[in-house]
Amino acid sequence: MSGGWGAEIDVSDEVGYELYGNASATLPTFYIVGNTIDANSDAIDFENGYGYGYLYDDAVLVVGGFEVADNVIGFGSSSYSSGVRYYLASLTGNEISDNSRITLGDIVVDSNLFDATTQNCIAINLPGLAYNQGGSTTVEVGNIEVTNNQIGSTQTAVYLDIDTYGSANGTVTVGDVKISGNAIDGIASGDPGINIEYYLSPEDTSTATIGQTLIQLNSLNGGAGENGIRLLFEESIDPGATGAIGQVLVTVNTIESFAAGIYLDNIDDVSIINNTITGNVDGIWATVDSVGHTLTKNNLYGNSNAAVTNLATTWIDAEDNWWGDASGPYDSIGTTEVPPCTGNPADEVNSDGLGDDSGDYVAYCPWATEPFVLGLIFVDGFESGDFSEWSNSVP
């Protein structure tokens, strides 16, 4: 295929503007598999630009899954072009009420070769989920998986934006997110390689949840890119409402040549385990309102400013990492030279450490004296490659 859009699916016109009185509408799963696509605009576009209108009186809308696999994809140089674009704007349209339900199937982008130029490569946007929800209604989204893709020079390789609302006593649920096995080589200046943004804004007594996030087995070579992996979480939850995201695990990735290898923006309790983060300006950067992280069994070396930059004044647990030298990370602030570890990181100093700078408010002692081999590892009985065995297993 070649020309404007390679493949465009607009479901706005496929579903009636109103569903009510026990009415239902079902769309199938859409498969785009085994094609060669060279487009001037978006190569593959799945959208509902106009929302779904009204659903009330026990109405049901089911949109099947969306799978893009085993394609060779090239796309245009327009600033709005993407290789794969999944965009459902204001999913509930104007209103969903009276025990109605909307269900979206799984979103899968797997084993594609992207001959990219300078645009966002895989863009999955779910803005305005349950924006105007009333009564005992439900909006459900399946799992999201971006796996085993090869991505050349681009802006953001994987862009995921999930924006959930909810009101009255409605429920909004989004399944698990898995970004795994992607090879990303070359990110444009100022852009992240993998960018994930979660927003929760439930009102009244509604519930909005996003499942667990696994980022594993990816290789990211930045070139001029700003962040290898950027994770953002923002919430505005009414006192009577409930909102939460599941565990976030970043494991067995190789991240190099970015301004920041991993950028943690307003997100808490991320587990960063058994990665190689090297050749960046900052290995890991945590903003002032991003706390509670665990860093262990990582190779953190060759980062020119610091292996970890923590802007918060709460400590990051960073024990048992390789800092580039058996003498450990360089730390010039403290009163008691280590080793041995004191158990009080505020007192510890390692002025003769020849590894990367540990940064402030980073509890680094004890450290590893040789590099780790990356591979699927066990963490408190949890194998990092087993996406189904997460509960109470990741620190």
Tens of pLDDT along 300-358?
A: 999 999 999 999 999 999 999 999 999 999 999 999 999 999 999 999 999 999 999 99
Whether this prediction's pTM lies above 0.75 is answered by: yes
Residue 15's pLDDT is what?
Answer: 53
Binning pLDDT at 50, 70 and 90, where does residue 232 land? very high
Q: Tell me the domain boundaries of the chain.
A: 2-383
Q: Which of 245, 164, 161, 174 is nearest to 206 (CA)?
A: 164
Lowest mean pLDDT among 6-15, 40-49, 56-65, 157-166: 6-15
Of 74 and 205, the one with more pLDDT:
205
Contact 172, 164 (CB under 8 A): yes
Residue 53's pLDDT is what?
Answer: 64
Tens of pLDDT along 89-138?
A: 655 555 777 888 888 999 999 999 987 655 678 999 988 787 777 778 88
What token pair was written down for 373?
């081999």
Residue whose tokens read 């989920």: 129
Residues 6+ positions from 350 with CB-CB distance below 8 Å: 327, 328, 329, 330, 331, 334, 337, 338, 358, 364, 365
Tens of pLDDT along 247-265?
A: 899 999 999 999 999 999 9
Binning pLDDT at 50, 70 and 90, where does residue 394 land? very low
Kindly tell me if the per-residue pLDDT of 210 is higher than 50.
yes
Residue 376's pLDDT is what?
Answer: 61
Cα 341 to Cα 133: distance, rounded to the nearest angstrom: 54
Residue whose tokens read 């594993």: 216
Q: What separation in angstroms does the CA of 167 have from each of 141, 262, 359?
A: 17, 34, 42
Residue 130's pLDDT is what?
Answer: 75
Tens of pLDDT along 179-207?
A: 999 999 888 778 899 999 999 988 888 89
Kindly tell me if the per-residue pLDDT of 377 is higher than 60.
no
Please give the average per-residue pLDDT across 211-228, as a whole number. Answer: 89
Of 305 and 2, the one with more pLDDT:
305
